A and B are shown apart, each in its own frame.
Chain A
Amino acid sequence: MAKTHSTLEAQQYHPKLEMLKRSWYKFSKNPMSMIGLIIVVLVFCVTAFCNVIAPFAEDAGIITHMSEAFQGPSLKHLCGTDDYGRDVFSRMLIGFRPSMGIAAIVLLISVPLGVFLGLLAGYYQGTLVDTVITRITELFMSVPPLILAMVVCCMFTNNYVFCALGIAVAWWPWYTRITYNLVVSLTNELYITYTELSGIGMLRIIFSEMLPNLVSSIITKMTLDTGSIILTASSMSYVGLGVQPPTPSLGSMVSDGVSYLPEYWWLSVMPAVAVIVIVMGFNLLGDGLTDVLSVEEK
């Protein structure tokens, strides 16, 4: 027995690593998924180093170069300049940070909360715990997410943390629902019944038997959701909720530029394109992950 074990080790065979390699192979065969991955990596890089990358990083604040106002796209100003002569390209790059920050806060709150409640309701299905959690979920799902987020954001302070909190309030029920449905389908699996029969505690069943099986679905949903959250946040900042001026955000840059259409089109078109590219990146990546992970499950 010990001998076989050591031979296996000598061959360096790790089933998990092998699976990861295969998934990666499948993923990398799909050009759309790879484009998505590249966009997402670039977005993360820009978010982390926007102050260094942006050619005119100081343009994010209160600063005016009136003599350079309304210049069209050129080599010096890749996306032109705005009504105060600030570089639109630099402001856009710096606007990535609040968007990604909001997405991070929303996911950090709604995923653990939603998944935990979903696990709880799924494990105690048919009992009072299940009913109460399901009703609360339905309650928060009974108002369109954008409206709920706007109300929550406005009731407290209109800044980007509360904007993120507002979106999180509207977002967690979806994680509860997806987790609940997955757990319900898992409960009928034999290995869960065996674990229960062998007297293992409920906490361990939930966290070490059920949760690992949900991870791939939840990660896929998180990737797709990052795009949707960025869309929602940019819609909110379009009407003035969230990041407050002079800090640039993609949505508010678009809405500020609308009054200068169509002569100075780059003011709104460029940030809108940025939003489209970011969201598309996350969607392509999410779709690629869905393909790989669902094939693996089959």
Chain B
Amino acid sequence: MKKSGNMILKKILHMVFILLLLSLIVFSFIRLIPGDPVKSSLGPLASEDTIAQYRHQLYFDRPLLVQWFHWLTGVVTRGDFGTSLYTHRAVSLDIAQYLPKSLELCALAALLILVLGVFFGTLAALFKNTWVDNLIRFITYLGVVTPAYAFGIVFLLIFAYGKGAFPIGGFPTIPAEFVRTGAPALDCLLSGQFALFVKCMQSYFLPCISVAIGSIAYQARIHRSSMVENVNADYIAFAEVAGVSKGKLICKHLMKPSFIPTLTVYGLQVASLLGNAFIIENIFRINGFSQYALNVILNKDPYGIIAVTIIFGIIFSVVNMLVDIGVAMLDPRIRLRGGQ
């Protein structure tokens, strides 16, 4: 147990180190932007004095390391990510407004990827070389090669004009007194509004599926092949001979090792999920973090870009760390070596 504790601590330190390095790199990149972001944010009519003053206020006239350190202390002590040159608000306020909704969307989609990917992968592996397997293989192939926006558009076409159970475009308005976290479905749950919660989940359904479907397909393919590989392993034959029941054989002896490759690619799937969210939020007109990030990037808003990359970096790194820990838990060889 002490060894796994050490491993987790090591991983966290490593993650923090990489994120610090990332923020420094992005800072130096920002300085390379051609043109002057401060000048362009104040407009062509601003006087030299105002520009110089604003630049001083934003720490843009000081050495890179000083600016970075100032920003870092702000983030660590006050959660202050600097001021956006584009909305002229604190970046942290914008994040608090947009992030929860997108995070909820991505979390639901991530859950969907794991559950459905493993489900279809297992199904295909158990019915190997039957029509079930072939059908799943065909669908997953299509899923892997189709861009997320194509799924989004297909779902729009099918559901938008059918007036079905799954609304497109936006969410039901949550009354202000219920808003606690900013994530619609979670807020409804916390304040006990179950009818509204169901409505939120219905609105989430189509965007979630469109974001996740490619990754579900990929995950199913990986899970199928890793299960098929394990079916032929000696220890499965041994367990069968020893008289382990079929259900126990599948659930315990076959599932556990098969999850290792599945979990390893899961981290990558979350990355593609975060990327696809950019496109899907655009199609379904969800005013979320990806839309905000896209605006920030297109407007070359320095502190905005830094905050956006760091936040995506944090989400991605945390997921990868959890994946690593999960793999270590499943694989005693890694666990006992202390995660080396």
A-side interface residues toward B, CB under 8 Å?
A: 135, 138-139, 142-148, 150-152, 154-157, 227, 231-232, 234-235, 238-240, 251, 254-255, 258, 261-262, 265, 268-269, 272, 275-276, 279-280, 283
Identify the 3 closest CB pairs spanning chains A and B, nearest first. Answer: A146-B275, A144-B271, A272-B150
Most B-side CB within 10 Å, residue of A142, A152, A156, A283: A142
Which residue in chain A gives the minimum CB-CB distance to B297?
A154
Q: Which residue of A lies closest to B150 (CB)?
A: A272
B153 on the A face (CB < 8 A)? yes
Check if B149 is an interface residue, CB within 8 A of chain A: yes
Provide the residues of chain A in CB contact with B100, threshold 8 Å: none
Q: Which of B149, B161, B293 contacts A147 (CB 8 A)?
A: B293
What band does the interface of chain B fall in when counting residues whose beta carbon is under 8 Å from A? 35 or more
B275 touches A235 (CB 8 A): yes
Question: How many angstroms from the CA of A61 to the CA of B272 in the assembled complex?
Answer: 33
Taking A135-B21, A155-B300, A276-B145 as contacts, is the C-beta distance between A142 and B317 under 8 angstroms?
A: yes
Assembled-state Cα–Cα distance A166/B275 (Å): 14
In whole angstroms, what is the CA distance A234 to B148 when docked? 10
B149 vs chain A, min Cβ distance (A): 5
Q: A231 CA to B218 CA in the complex, in Å?
A: 15
In the assembled complex, B278 has its CB within 8 A of some CB on chain A? yes
With both beta carbons as reference points, the residue of chain A lying nearest to B320 in the complex is identified as: A142
B217 CB, min distance to chain A CBs, angstroms: 12
Which chain B positions have C-beta within 8 A of A157?
Answer: 34
Q: Provide the residues of chain B in CB contact with A265, threshold 8 Å.
A: 157
Can you offer 24 A-B residue contacts whose CB atoms are under 8 A?
Answer: A138-B18, A142-B18, A142-B316, A143-B316, A144-B274, A145-B275, A151-B29, A151-B305, A152-B29, A154-B298, A155-B30, A155-B300, A227-B145, A232-B275, A235-B278, A238-B282, A240-B298, A251-B149, A254-B150, A262-B157, A279-B145, A280-B145, A283-B144, A283-B145
Contact A143/B22 with A154-B300, A265-B157 known, Cβ cut-off 8 Å? yes
Using CB atoms, name the residue of chain A closest to B283: A258
Known contacts: A269-B153, A272-B149, A272-B153. The answer to whether A143 contacts B309 by CB under 8 A is yes
Taking a contact as CB atoms under 8 Å apart, the answer to whether A139 and B145 are in contact is: no
In the assembled complex, which residues on chain B have CB atoms less than 8 Å from the CB atom of A240?
A: 298
Whether B145 contacts A254 by the Cβ 8 Å rule is no
B107 within 8 A of A: no
**B147 contacts the other chain (CB 8 A):** yes
Supposing A147-B312, A276-B146, A279-B145 touch, asked if A142 and B19 sit within 8 A by C-beta, the answer is yes
